[in-house]
Amino acid sequence: MNRRNFILNSSLASGYFLIPGFLKPLERLLPNASQKKLVVIQLSGGNDWLNTIVPYKNDLYFKSRPKIGLGEDMILPLEKDLALNRSLIKLKDVYDSGEMAVINNVGYPNPDRSHFRSMDIWHSASASNEYIYTGWLGRFLDNECKNSYEAVEVDKYLSLALKGQKLNGLAINNINQLYKEVKTPFFNDLVSVAKNNSLNEDNQGYLYKTLINTTSSTEYLFEKNKLISNKTDYPNNEFGKQLKNIATFIGADSATKVYYISLSGFDTHAGQQPRQNKLLVDYADGVSTFIKNLKELNKWDDTLIFTFSEFGRRVEENASAGTDHGTAGNVLLFGKNLKKKGIINELPDLSNLDDGDLKFSVDFRSIYKNILQSWLQANADKIIPAAVKDFGVV
Tens of pLDDT, residues 119-153? 999 999 999 999 999 999 999 999 998 877 788 89
Alpha helices (runs of H) in the chain, residue ranges in sequence order: 3-9, 20-23, 59-64, 92-96, 115-124, 136-144, 175-182, 185-195, 203-225, 238-251, 272-296, 364-370, 380-383
User: What pLDDT, on the 0 to 100 scale, is given for residue 3?
Assistant: 46
Q: What is the pLDDT of residue 148?
A: 78
**From CA 51, how far away is CA 83, in angstroms rounded?**
9
Handedness of CA 149, 154, 158, 160 (dihedral sign): negative
Q: Is 125 left (phi over 0), alpha (psi -120 to 50) or beta?
A: left
Q: pLDDT by residue (tens digit) across 20-47?
A: 444 444 444 444 434 899 999 999 999 9
Identify the band that residue 205 occupies on the pLDDT scale cut at 50, 70 and 90: low
Q: What pLDDT, on the 0 to 100 scale, is given for residue 187? A: 64
Whole-number pLDDT of residue 183: 74
Sorting pLDDT into bands at 50, 70 and 90, what band is 200? low
Mean pLDDT on 155-166: 92
> Tens digits of per-residue pLDDT, 248-290?
888 888 888 999 999 999 999 999 999 999 999 999 999 999 9
Contacts of 388 (CB under 8 A, 6+ apart): 363, 365, 366, 369
Please report which confidence band the pLDDT of residue 10 belongs to, taking 50, 70 and 90 as the band edges.
very low
The rounded distance, in Å, linking the Cα atoms of 303 and 107 is 24
- Whether the per-residue pLDDT at 212 is higher than 60: the answer is no
| Residue 172 clears pLDDT 90, i.e. is over it | no
Instruction: Answer whether residue 190 shows pLDDT above 80.
Output: no
pLDDT for residue 118 is more than 50: yes
Residues 102, 338 contacting (CB under 8 angstroms): no
* pLDDT confidence tier of residue 169, bands split at 50, 70 and 90: confident
Largest CA distance in the chain: 75
Compare 1 and 391 and report the one with higher pLDDT.
391
Q: Is the sign of the CA dihedral 206, 209, 211, 217 positive or negative?
A: negative
pLDDT at 98: 97
pLDDT of residue 21: 41
Among 227, 135, 235, residue whose Cα is nearest residue 175? 227
The domain segmentation of the chain, as residue ranges, is 37-145+236-383
Confidence at residue 168, expressed as pLDDT on a 0 to 100 scale: 84
pLDDT value at 1 more than 60: no
| 55 contacts 81 by C-beta, under 8 angstroms | yes
Q: Which has more pLDDT, 18 or 353?
A: 353
Q: Percent of the chain, pLDDT > 70?
A: 79
Q: What is the CATH number of domain 37-145+236-383?
A: 3.40.720
Mean pLDDT, the chain, rounded, equals 86
